[in-house]
Structure 1
Amino acid sequence: MSKRSWSGANEGMEFMPTPRRPGGPRRAPEGHLSRARDDFISRGALQLEDAERLFSPYRDRLDALMYGVGCKYQQLEELRRKSPILTTATLTVAALHDPQSNSLVNRDYLRATCVASYWLSDVSWMLSGYAIRRAAECNLHNSYAGAIEEKSEEAADGARLWYTLNICDQHLATLYGRRAI
């Protein structure tokens, strides 16, 4: 292929023309669609069964609130293949509206939410409140008694996490002049 140069302000800069396929835009290489996914589902952060259970109500009910814009995909597999970020957002919103998802919340999730609420100032207030409510649903607010009575390391960890979440909430309440939860 020959090199061409632009005229005008970019004189002397060279570029290589991109060959076009006849009949439209470039396509993914053969076998591209069949390769293994590397997302939070394939890594085990969320079981495929739970993801499927969350995806269907989002697609069928919740997305209608956005006039069908948020989820043009009919199958979770297609959504995962096309857009990992949309998969994450879709399943996160679905989990917020699913009462069964309380069992999916683990302490590392609450820790991550606490870290995010300390450092992501634009969403800190929302994340902190959400983390405390989820922690209360997981009965973390009763961990102190278990730590004292049972001398359980797991209960002590729960108590530390509960107090850290409350300190974060109090910090943000002071910072933003709002009431703590």
Structure 2
Amino acid sequence: MTVCAYLALGSNMGDRAEQLRQAIHKLNRRDGIRVIRISPVYETEPVGFVDQEAFLNMVIAVESDLAPEKLLETALAVEQELGRVRTVRWGPRTIDIDLLLYGDKMLQLEHLTIPHPSMTERAFVLVPLRDVWEGGALPVLNRPVDEYLRLLPQENKGVQKWGTIGWETGFDHSES
């Protein structure tokens, strides 16, 4: 069964835009994953550990026949391929890929919670999610993205449109 899932991508090390491009490319080449929509890119200040460079953030929609655990495992493998090292919580990273939503599924496992437990608290996730979400209310949460954005404190809304990375008009699903 094919499901629409939403993944958040972020980078603040090296060529941030290239890290995002490479992550999308690598995800799109994996069996069981097909990128169908991507948001514009937004630049945001870091959260938590603030002594680091600004992030580029975006959200992609994928069609997948992988189980949610396998989709997350694949995303983490892509992070590792792109040099992600987990040293400091909320620290600098070449790439970060979070599984936000998986169809209308709710899931609570040791290493995976769907919907992502803090996505409704993060403007840097909600703003690009709104760009790719087709349907108004978030599945399983039954509220529009804009409503969650309105509920955020003003200091959490510092999301500035940065631009695009060249994947917005279509995707090559052939092998290369």
Question: Given the two structures, how large is their TM-score scaled by the length of structure 2?
Answer: 0.26
Question: Given the two structures, how large is their TM-score scaled by the length of structure 1?
Answer: 0.26
Of Structure 1 and Structure 2, the greater strand share is in 2
Q: Which has the larger radius of gyration?
A: 1
Bigger RCO (CA 8 Å, 6+ sep): 2
Of Structure 1 and Structure 2, the greater helix share is in 1
